[in-house]
Chain A
């Protein structure tokens, strides 16, 4: 008995465990303090609101990525989905389709692309990395074809108040995309931590064979999860298109990397089965503060990439250490 409590006490103080529970939060706070000290204007409410708006696009994609990574998968096509669904939305708005309908259709197409990813991975038994690398290339190519390589824009978009509001508007002084992020965070949180769907997601990532024997319909779950990832990417795509008042053919390029980084920084294991939605939100905020802070400090964008890469590397190495312990 004393042996057991001793082992338990030891476990409580292990660094891996500590990082898993509080690490991302601590990292975020340290980062915020650091940036604030170096440049007071970081704490300017206007800057903070701007930061949250910047974060919202990556956070939305990362919420979907969290589900995917929890199953032990990965989705490299999310950035391309951002671009193509955004282009669809823009084209619909330009051709006079009601704004809300345009937005919904754009999001629906994102969900469909996600579902296709899921079907390929579930029924084609394809490795998620390769499957989504292929669909990323296809969707990016389709975006270039659809946009003919030029931005889709026009006065029907820039003069459309409803459409502009989606990405640029403020409600009670807070940018509208922040509300969208908050709503989908709550939805994703409940789905992952309070429903049978979430429980089965963890089971699938922890041991797909055991999950199947215990009655989980693995293929159905995988399709649904990639559908969610596609849908949320399209929501992010709609915000981006609205904010820029145009759909760029290379929009969302490499966004999958920021989303994966947010998930990993948030303490989710790339091996699947372990991680929390709150961690991913923190992870997205860490990346947002990094970007925003480095801009404020006037660090060149070339160096910014190096710093971001190092931060992600450190997080992954900590994750490994934790897995070993």
Chain B
């Protein structure tokens, strides 16, 4: 089977997310799709699988123009989409999840479990996998769940399988197993679209690669004919060298010092950040970086350990305590914890500072408005004004609103968890510039990031966490991709 997407364009309101893109995949190849967040990869795949309708352009399946009206229709045509976030019902048994909405019946509406098991086992056999079908799927590891997803696509006899960041949550061992499966499928004539951010995987598994940026398909290469440098260049639209602004740190006193922090997610964590410093936290997904920060900020509980801010030992019971000692926390997921999407920019930005604009609880409306306007301007938030709903802004501008909140609250210690995730390239640069400006004024910044380039490109020191343990804190100028990855996977550098 061959699919050709030709001249596809798509806009959301006035926001053009795909501009006349072309993409093709055929049976028997692994075609990698690379690009930063917001480049348009997901939108393109959602169009291919009938989840979104393009504004213009055509999709050819084996040369015939086809429009899938729904995901189900795409599936019936042999196109399977394995999403990054798996839509499983954790409490439901494996078998029920695999056949959700596709249950096989044996008359009187009764479900034929025996037949379903036979079919499911056949698919799992292809993957050399054994599971207990009656076990709740939530009890399986993420890797196993990923395999179940693949088995599901095999059950529907998929000719084209789309995998969106399949390795994001897998261990090295599981990744290798997945690659064996991918190669086997390819050899059986299945076409695979492989979306990933990981450069090394691309060269290991893909036959072709298409790079997207800002809603455009920049180039398609045979993997054998290209190299990392070229792809990175296509992805960011310039050489990496000038992508991160330079750091000229001037360190002051220690602003945050923690020692022996322990709860069920991490153990004996000790580190410190100075005024004017950017300390990056690196590690694999699930290593416990976010959990450490949540505990410092008072969202999660600590079992042991001490926290000193500006030399004073504190008991932080909730975020309110942390904020009152000038600690700010930009959370990993801005939609669920960073913003009130239905509320105005003003109501979002002034929330942590609102007590400062009030006398006996009564808000000084004028001071409050001026405060919000000043911050919107300072962070260059692109919006009509303070009364816009936060949810109406683009990802980058939403992130700036969250930053405005914490800059406005006067954070001396600012914890930024994935500050540039889902943010376009231009806004990314603005966020780094802001971080430079803040550290110049003496703020201490902790930047949790899963983007190794960012960690190496924009920090003074790097703390590496592996399975809840702080492996080491190294100077950024002495660190390399390899040395950080080694620590992040539990190894030791000589």
Inter-chain contact A216/B340, CB cutoff 8 Å: no
Q: Is A44 an interface residue (CB 8 A)?
A: no
Inter-chain contact A216/B362, CB cutoff 8 Å: no
Q: Given A199-B354, A273-B342 in contact, is the A213-B362 Cβ separation under 8 Å?
A: no
Report the minimal beta-carbon distance from A81 to chain B, rounded to whole angstroms. Answer: 25
Q: Is A210 an interface residue (CB 8 A)?
A: yes
Among A7, A197, A206, A215, which residue has its beta carbon within 8 angstroms of that of B340?
A206
Q: Which of B121-129, B317-325, B369-377, B426-434 contacts A (4 or more CB under 8 A)?
A: B317-325
- Interface flags for B249-272 (1: CB within 8 Å of A; 0: not) read 000000000000000000000000
Q: Is A318 an interface residue (CB 8 A)?
A: no
- Interface flags for B345-375 (1: CB within 8 Å of A; 0: not) read 0011011101100100111010000000000
Which chain B residues numbered 424 to 443 have a C-beta less than 8 Å away from chain A?
none
Inter-chain contact A215/B363, CB cutoff 8 Å: no
Q: Is A171 an interface residue (CB 8 A)?
A: no
Chain A residues positioned under 8 Å from B320 (CB to CB): 215-217
Q: Given A8-B384, A195-B363, A197-B361 in contact, is the A212-B339 Cβ separation under 8 Å?
A: no
Among B319, B324, B348, which residue has its beta carbon within 8 angstroms of that of A212?
B319
Q: Is B82 an interface residue (CB 8 A)?
A: no
Beta-carbon nearest neighbor of A217 in chain B: B320
Q: Given A203-B340, A206-B343 in contact, is the A211-B351 Cβ separation under 8 Å?
A: yes
Q: Is B196 an interface residue (CB 8 A)?
A: no
Inter-chain contact B384/A4, CB cutoff 8 Å: yes
Chain A residues positioned under 8 Å from B142 (CB to CB): none
Inter-chain contact A210/B340, CB cutoff 8 Å: yes
Report the minimal beta-carbon distance from A276 to chain B, rounded to whole angstroms. Answer: 14
Q: Which of B90-98, B146-154, B210-218, B330-338 contacts A (4 or more CB under 8 A)?
A: B330-338
Q: Is B194 an interface residue (CB 8 A)?
A: no
Inter-chain contact A199/B347, CB cutoff 8 Å: yes
Chain A residues positioned under 8 Å from B384 (CB to CB): 4, 8
Chain A residues positioned under 8 Å from B338 (CB to CB): 210, 213
Beta-carbon nearest neighbor of B358 in chain A: A196
- Interface flags for A190-234 (1: CB within 8 Å of B; 0: not) read 100011110110110011011111111100000000000000000
Q: Is A155 an interface residue (CB 8 A)?
A: no
Report the minimal beta-carbon distance from B220 to chain A, rounded to whole angstroms. Answer: 32
Rounded to whole angstroms, the CA-CA distance of A274 and B389 in the bound complex is 12
Report the minimal beta-carbon distance from B13 to chain A, rounded to whole angstroms. Answer: 6
Rounded to whole angstroms, the CA-CA distance of A7 and B13 in the bound complex is 8
Inter-chain contact B14/A195, CB cutoff 8 Å: no
Contact-residue size bin, chain A (C-beta under 8 Å from the other chain) = 20 to 34
Beta-carbon nearest neighbor of A274 in chain B: B342
Inter-chain contact B342/A217, CB cutoff 8 Å: no
Q: Is A3 an interface residue (CB 8 A)?
A: yes
Chain B residues positioned under 8 Å from A3 (CB to CB): 13-14
Rounded to whole angstroms, the CA-CA distance of A210 and B348 in the bound complex is 9
Inter-chain contact B351/A215, CB cutoff 8 Å: yes
Report the minimal beta-carbon distance from B382 to chain A, rounded to whole angstroms. Answer: 10
Report the minimal beta-carbon distance from B335 to chain A, rounded to whole angstroms. Answer: 9
Chain A residues positioned under 8 Å from B319 (CB to CB): 212-215
Rounded to whole angstroms, the CA-CA distance of A5 and B299 in the bound complex is 41
Rounded to whole angstroms, the CA-CA distance of A199 and B344 in the bound complex is 11
- Interface flags for A35-51 (1: CB within 8 Å of B; 0: not) read 00000000000000000
Report the minimal beta-carbon distance from A211 to chain B, rounded to whole angstroms. Answer: 7
Q: Is B466 an interface residue (CB 8 A)?
A: no
Which chain B residues numbered 4 to 18 have a C-beta less than 8 Å away from chain A?
13-14
Beta-carbon nearest neighbor of A198 in chain B: B363
Chain B residues positioned under 8 Å from A214 (CB to CB): 319, 323, 351-352, 405
Inter-chain contact A194/B363, CB cutoff 8 Å: yes
Chain A residues positioned under 8 Å from B339 (CB to CB): 207, 210
Inter-chain contact A202/B299, CB cutoff 8 Å: no
Inter-chain contact A199/B14, CB cutoff 8 Å: no
Q: Is B458 an interface residue (CB 8 A)?
A: no
Q: Is B181 an interface residue (CB 8 A)?
A: no
Rounded to whole angstroms, the CA-CA distance of A195 and B360 in the bound complex is 9
Most buried by A among B331, B341, B342: B342
Inter-chain contact B354/A196, CB cutoff 8 Å: yes
Inter-chain contact B358/A206, CB cutoff 8 Å: no
Q: Given A199-B363, A215-B351 in contact, is the A7-B14 Cβ separation under 8 Å?
A: yes
Rounded to whole angstroms, the CA-CA distance of A149 and B352 in the bound complex is 51
Chain B residues positioned under 8 Å from A197 (CB to CB): 361
Inter-chain contact B329/A194, CB cutoff 8 Å: no
Report the minimal beta-carbon distance from A158 to chain B, rounded to whole angstroms. Answer: 41
Beta-carbon nearest neighbor of A204 in chain B: B340
Q: Given A207-B340, A273-B342, A273-B343 in contact, is the A216-B363 Cβ separation under 8 Å?
A: no
Chain B residues positioned under 8 Å from A7 (CB to CB): 13-14
Which chain B residues numbered 294 to 342 have a C-beta less than 8 Å away from chain A?
297, 299, 318-320, 322-324, 329, 331, 336-342
Rounded to whole angstroms, the CA-CA distance of A196 and B339 in the bound complex is 18
Chain B residues positioned under 8 Å from A211 (CB to CB): 340, 351
Inter-chain contact B340/A195, CB cutoff 8 Å: no
Chain B residues positioned under 8 Å from A207 (CB to CB): 336-337, 339-343
Inter-chain contact B318/A195, CB cutoff 8 Å: no
Rounded to whole angstroms, the CA-CA distance of A215 and B384 in the bound complex is 27
Report the minimal beta-carbon distance from A274 to chain B, rounded to whole angstroms. Answer: 6
Chain A residues positioned under 8 Å from B324 (CB to CB): 215
Inter-chain contact A210/B363, CB cutoff 8 Å: no
Rounded to whole angstroms, the CA-CA distance of A7 and B15 in the bound complex is 12
Chain A residues positioned under 8 Å from B14 (CB to CB): 3-4, 7
Rounded to whole angstroms, the CA-CA distance of A3 and B13 in the bound complex is 9
Rounded to whole angstroms, the CA-CA distance of A217 and B320 in the bound complex is 7
Chain A residues positioned under 8 Å from B361 (CB to CB): 195-197
Rounded to whole angstroms, the CA-CA distance of A194 and B361 in the bound complex is 8
Rounded to whole angstroms, the CA-CA distance of A34 and B162 in the bound complex is 61
Chain A residues positioned under 8 Å from B362 (CB to CB): 190, 194-195
Q: Given A196-B355, A196-B361 in contact, is the A202-B318 Cβ separation under 8 Å?
A: no
Rounded to whole angstroms, the CA-CA distance of A32 and B36 in the bound complex is 59
Beta-carbon nearest neighbor of A195 in chain B: B361
Rounded to whole angstroms, the CA-CA distance of A309 and B166 in the bound complex is 51
Among B299, B337, B347, which residue has its beta carbon within 8 angstroms of that of A203?
B347
Inter-chain contact A195/B358, CB cutoff 8 Å: yes
Inter-chain contact B337/A200, CB cutoff 8 Å: no
Rounded to whole angstroms, the CA-CA distance of A3 and B362 in the bound complex is 39
Report the minimal beta-carbon distance from A190 to chain B, rounded to whole angstroms. Answer: 8
- Beyond A199-B350, A213-B329, 15 additional contacts (C-beta under 8 Å) are A4-B14, A4-B384, A7-B13, A8-B384, A195-B358, A196-B354, A196-B358, A199-B351, A207-B336, A207-B339, A212-B318, A215-B323, A215-B351, A216-B351, A273-B342
Interfacial residues, chain B to chain A (CB-CB below 8 A): 13-14, 297, 299, 318-320, 322-324, 329, 331, 336-343, 347-348, 350-352, 354-355, 358, 361-363, 365, 384, 405
The 3 closest A-B pairs by CB, nearest first: A206-B340, A3-B14, A214-B351
Interfacial residues, chain A to chain B (CB-CB below 8 A): 3-4, 7-8, 190, 194-197, 199-200, 202-203, 206-207, 209-217, 273-274
Complex A-B: 17 CB contacts under 8 Å: A4-B14, A194-B362, A194-B363, A196-B355, A202-B340, A203-B343, A203-B351, A206-B342, A207-B343, A210-B338, A211-B351, A212-B299, A213-B338, A215-B351, A215-B352, A217-B318, A273-B343
